[in-house]
A and B are shown apart, each in its own frame.
Chain A
Amino acid sequence: MRHSSGPACRAWAAHRVRPLNALVAQFLRDWRIALRSRHEMTTPLMFFAVVVMLFPLAISPEPEQLAAIAPGVIWVLALLASLLSLEGLFKRDFSDGSLEQMVLSAEPLFLAVVGKLLAHWCAASLPLVIFAPIAALALSLPLEALSTLLASLLLGTPTVACLGAVGAALTVSLGRGGMLLALIVMPLYIPVLIFGTSATSFAVAGLSVAGPLAWLAVLAGLSLTLAPFAVSAAIRMACEE
């Protein structure tokens, strides 16, 4: 096709399509927004910290007892904290119309979704992973299990973010979707919870952690490849109203 020439027909955008641009552009956009609304990044983290504090008070300050529950407590809290940040993942974009522009213009949509998920993971999960060792020490988790805890969180949180994003996208157009989101995604989180806590407990007991960590890696690979398509389909549905 050739447009009729003349100054009016000036092209305002370069026309070579590079699909990865969609991923990078979406990542940069969401990452910038996250940095500028810092409270949204820090609130889940503070929630995590304050609930960790409750366990010694509620159960016992005995190091042995705390160490026994530490992997479970940290993982369960990581899942709960992820819910806090997930609720806003698409809400704002949905209400200001960015989501429908994304659906209409992204080429291809699933790469933009991957960019969005990456930014979400960096803004919401990475701070938790970094903070987790402090919580682990407060809960008397032995030092030698620390690296495994970190590895399990690093490998497990991408799956949590991906599955959570599917739930968040499905509930974005509903008024108050928070509890519903929890009901939808919690059963799906169970394998990550099992392998994540087992890996850490194995490390405490001095067993080999390769098995559960390998499983976490497999789950992360699976969800990173499949979830963007499910999320794309779900946000398309959300915009069709």
Chain B
Amino acid sequence: MSELSTPSNPRVLSSMPLCRAIGLRCERGGRELFSDLSFTLDRGVMLELRGPNGSGKSTLLRALAGLYPDVDGEIDTCDLAYFGHRGGLSPTLTVAENLAWFSGLAGTTADDVPGLLRRVGVPYPNRPLSELSAGQQRRVGLARLMMTGERKPLWLLDEPLTALDSAGEALVGELIDEHLACGGGVVCATHQDLPVVPGLRIELGH
């Protein structure tokens, strides 16, 4: 396997945890979502965030991604990929163009896009995204997540099973398993049972 090409990032060392959170506290609309929340995510481990709607799962994920600064405490993460509610894909562009944009954005070039799309079950690289169903668009999002490869050891998934059929759910399970087997880590907010047994679980909203 190839060496990770970012030796400039000293944080990505095999002995380091992928994500460390110390004493997180968040208040939204005058209500405390969580407080004194601490965890360490090691390689090969999935952390599952559970809790009812509005319990702060998405907020916590966005905070870990650095997209929500209103959280007190300390967060330390390695390079990460975020798979949220909004797909981050342009409906005007084709599937392949969307993926090419994303890999180019990260400074890399995509290879074997057809293989990648076969893997996620959307083998239509030249179709505009707007012609795909919601589930298929989510699958393209999964393809993009896979493309980050080893460069993004930490995956942050917000309700990854949304809009997916049972085969899609199984696919999410496989992808997570593979990512964990490669030494990656996953933080996943979900209200459905995932086909992967989490190593850690945090219940929010008590």
Contact = CB atoms under 8 A, between A and B. Distances in A.
Interface of A: 1-6, 8-9, 11-19, 21-22, 24-26, 28-29, 32-33, 36-37, 92-93, 95-98, 100-107, 112, 239-241
B91 to A, nearest CB: 7
Interface in B127-167: 146-151, 153
A226 to B, nearest CB: 22
Contacts of B89: 96-98
Given A4-B182, A29-B97, A100 B86 contact: yes
Contact of A21 (B6, B84, B107): B107
A97 B89 CA distance: 7
Given A28-B97, A28-B101, 16 more contacts: A2-B1, A2-B3, A3-B1, A14-B110, A15-B5, A21-B108, A22-B107, A25-B105, A97-B88, A97-B89, A101-B88, A104-B67, A105-B102, A105-B106, A105-B148, A240-B68
A101 B127 CA distance: 21
Chain A residues touching B, majority SS: helix
Given A5-B1, A12-B110, A104-B80, A25 B103 contact: yes
A8 B178 contact: yes
B95 interface: no
A10 to B, nearest CB: 8
B5 A29 contact: no
Contact of A22 (B84, B106, B147, B182): B106
